[in-house]
Amino acid sequence: MSVSQIFITLIPIFFVIILGYLGGFFKIFTPASSKGLNTLVTKFALPAHLFIGITTTSKETLIKEWPFFVTMFLGIIGFYVLLLLVMRFAFRMDLNTSSIFSLNSTQPSFAFMGIPVLGSLFGPTEVAIPIAVTGVVVNALLDPIATIVSSVGKKTQANQASGSKQNLWDLTYHSILHGLREPLACIPILGVILTLLGFQSPDLLQKSLDQIGDITSGAALFAIGVTIGLNKINFSKQAFSIALLKVIAMPALTYVFALVIGLSAKDMTMAILLVSFPGSAVAAMIASRFETLEVESASSFVISSVLSLISLPILISILV
């Protein structure tokens, strides 16, 4: 793909992000309304879009996607675990801080940028399943794991001063249930199960869900811009480290896994691009929940979004 074609693809995407940024920067949107916009995308529009994409796919096609799932599992969960161990034992961070740092260095904003970027390259119907697979790995596995590790770290730091009697198994159980309750986790899983059982969405259901699913691209990009515009940037070493790990190191590791597993050129391109997107606002919210690296996480989200203006065109020129 030529440089001009890459920019023709990306300019409309970043134009909508800039519009959202202006809305956040000039306080047209507040943190509360920004949260509402994010909720619209992550809990309604994108799950509806993914459900239709999966349940209009043949059972045979879905079964063939298992190498892609393995690649995304290794690329996302593997990168998180690797960073967690490095931060904990090489840099001597406490367990909670190590987990939050690793989560924000790992989780991509696939839910917001996957459809517009990959859809413009491969077509909306081609990317529904890869994005759904990524959603399962992130929402049903990565977020619960990071929540468990951070919660254990918090409990260790507090030395059970609060007198809480909740044991590790209860914590694990409730964290996994919380992750599975997220529409971006449970709806794709439901779609996969139904498709494997032979279900195919009828036209009426498809047209009904498309009414909300079709807004995904524009609303998601605008929501990213609003979030960036509302956040103040702190150019700390940790913020830059998180951002660079996210847009450079993680795609490189995923590329290695994709080669080892033997993904097709198209699936390899989608896998690498999905993990190379900027850091996730959801991961920054988890940092706020644990009151750990809050400013650094929000700043790295903004920095990685800016860096993606450079990294995405380079990756697309190499891969496509």
The predicted pLDDT at position 280 comes to 83
Average pLDDT on 267-296 reads 86
Residue 204's pLDDT is 96
Tell me which residue range forms the domain holding 73.
Answer: 3-319
The amino acid occupying position 229 is: G
Would you state the pLDDT for residue 171? 66
pLDDT of 194 > 70? The answer is yes
CATH number, residue 41 = 1.20.1530
- Confidence grade of residue 159 (pLDDT, cut at 50, 70, 90): low
The stretches of the chain forming alpha helices (DSSP H) are 3-25, 31-40, 46-55, 59-63, 66-73, 79-85, 95-106, 110-113, 119-122, 124-135, 143-158, 168-181, 183-196, 203-213, 216-230, 237-244, 250-261, 265-276, 281-289, 294-319
Task: Please give the tally of structural domains in the chain.
Answer: 1
Split at pLDDT 50, 70, 90, the class of 165 is low
Task: Enumerate residues 6+ apart whose C-beta is below 8 A from 123.
Answer: none
The most confident of 68-72, 148-152, 159-163, 170-174, by mean pLDDT: 68-72
Other Cβ atoms closer than 10 A to 297: 27
Both structure tokens of 33: 């309304």
Q: Is 93 helix (H, G, I), strand (E, B) or coil?
A: coil
Say if CB 33 and CB 218 are below 8 A apart.
no
CB atoms within 10 A of CB 140: 20
Kindly report whether the global pTM for this prediction surpasses the value 0.85: no
Cα–Cα distance measured from residue 102 to residue 79, given in angstroms and rounded to the nearest whole number: 8
- 35 SS3 class: helix
pLDDT of 301 over the 90 cut: no
Model confidence at 241: pLDDT above 90: yes
pLDDT in tens, 199-237: 999 999 999 999 998 888 788 788 878 888 887 778 899
Average pLDDT, the chain: 86
CB 134 within 8 A of CB 110: yes
The identity of residue 303, as a single letter, is: I
Return the pLDDT at 77: 96
The pLDDT value recorded for residue 2 is 61
Which of 183-187, 212-216, 224-228, 248-252 is predicted most confidently? 248-252
Interval 79-134: pLDDT, tens = 999 999 999 999 999 999 999 999 999 999 887 788 888 988 888 778 888 988 88
Q: At residue 152, what is the residue type?
A: V
- Which residues are CB-contacts of 202 (< 8 A; sequence separation ≥ 6)? none
Sorted by sequence, the CB contacts under 8 Å of residue 294 that are 6+ apart come out as 284, 287, 288
C-alpha angle 43-290-276 in degrees, rounded to nearest 5: 55
The Cα 162–Cα 143 span in angstroms is 25
pLDDT in tens, 9-46: 778 888 888 999 999 999 999 988 988 888 888 789 88
- The reported pLDDT for the residue numbered 39 is 84
